[in-house]
Amino acid sequence: MNTTELSIEFFPPQTAEGAEKLRTVHARLAELKPAFFSVTYGAGGSTRERTFATVKEIAASGSEAAPHLSCIGSTRDSIRAILQEYADAGIRRIVALRGDLPSGVGDAGEFRYANELVEFIRNETGKRFRIEVAAYPEWHPQARCPQDDLLAFKRKADAGADSAITQYFYNIDAYLHFVDSARAMGVTIPIVPGIMPIASFSKLARFSDACGTELPRWMRKKFEAYGDDAESIRAFGLDVVTSLCEKLLATGVPGLHFYSMNQAGLTTEICKRLKLA
């Protein structure tokens, strides 16, 4: 029996066509029976309405939906109002984040770090929501040093987070080391690896630079050699990510969280190869 808990991430679509496409993608991915679908939240609340609309639609279709909620640039009152909206809509799980302010936006608001948001959610709503937080096996790009980043992660667990989802990575040792280090500090919450299927190498390279994920040289060189050959990139990407997931599953990870990028094909194919479909 398959006991690995899957979760799948979407971003809120910007257009009516995007929303229609996401309905089809969600229906396909729902066949994988994930524990929940999460929906990202734009910096400073820029997608507040669209995140809410997407979450409500997913929940109405019978899947569990978990909104991401970032606190940077927000007031306590505005976060309180959002929590109330989600509670009224029957939502039971939230991915609590600090987020990043868009450049040029000066006002950081009333929260500085995600642990303050976790504490606020717990104080305001008790055990109403299951709270997920972010973790960074290759360290958050702004962290002063690995030890500080681990302490920041521990503060989120101590504030009441139930579980964590990691930034994506392709170096399994980084994840295993992070989990060992967190356990050595007394952090016991599940740390679910975030998995990024590879559709386009150039996009992945740009994104990885920004979020601090290392693309191993052996992978990078091979992808670069494929040039514009989208079929080879897809095939190699599927092999790489499936193999990473196989190794992670062999270590007994509590689940896999797929960054689907609102596409069904790669996530479905990887799960099929892993016999999780």
- Contact assessment for residue 14 and residue 265, using Cβ atoms and an 8 Å cutoff: no
Q: Rounded distance, CA 84 to CA 239, Å? A: 43
Which one of residues 97, 118, 219, 274 is an interface residue with ligand FAD (CB under 6 A)?
A: 97
Identity of the amino acid at 183: R
Which one of residues 19, 35, 43, 53 is an interface residue with ligand FAD (CB under 6 A)?
A: 43
Angle made by CA atoms 70, 76, 79, in degrees to the nearest 5: 45
Confirm whether 20 is a catalytic residue.
no
Q: Rounded distance, CA 237 to CA 242, Å? A: 8
Which segment (58-66, 102-110, 142-150, 238-246) binds ligand FAD by CB under 6 A? 142-150
Beta carbons within 10 angstroms of residue 52's beta carbon:
19
- Contact assessment for residue 28 and residue 57, using Cβ atoms and an 8 Å cutoff: no
Report how many residues bind ligand FAD under the rule CB under 6 A.
Answer: 23
x-or-dash pattern for ligand FAD, window 58-87, by CB under 6 A? ----------x-x-----------------
Which one of residues 10, 36, 37, 41 is an interface residue with ligand FAD (CB under 6 A)?
A: 41
Per-residue b/e over 173-206, b at no fewer than 16 CB within 10 Å? ebbbebbebbeeeebebebbbbbbbbeebeebee
Q: Rounded distance, CA 48 to CA 108, Å? A: 17
Query: The tokens of 152 are what?
Result: 């920041």
Q: Per CB under 6 A, does 160 bind ligand FAD?
A: no
Query: The tokens of 251 are what?
Result: 């270590």
Q: Per CB under 6 A, does 152 bind ligand FAD?
A: yes
The residue among 32 and 117 lying less far from ligand FAD, judged by its C-beta, is: 117
The residue among 57 and 100 lying less far from ligand FAD, judged by its C-beta, is: 100
Q: Rounded distance, CA 74 to CA 79, Å? A: 7
Angle made by CA atoms 168, 111, 64, in degrees to the nearest 5: 50
Q: Per CB under 6 A, does 134 bind ligand FAD?
A: yes
Which one of residues 6, 29, 32, 114 is an interface residue with ligand FAD (CB under 6 A)?
A: 114
Which one of residues 34, 45, 99, 237 is an interface residue with ligand FAD (CB under 6 A)?
A: 99
Q: Per CB under 6 A, does 26 bind ligand FAD?
A: no
Q: Per CB under 6 A, does 229 bind ligand FAD?
A: no
- Least spacing, CB of residue 13 vs ligand FAD, in Å: 14
Residue located via tokens 């190498």: 201
Q: Which residues bind ligand FAD (CB under 6 A)?
A: 40-41, 43, 68, 70, 95, 97-100, 113-114, 134, 140, 142-143, 148-149, 152, 156, 165, 167, 194
Active site residues: 9
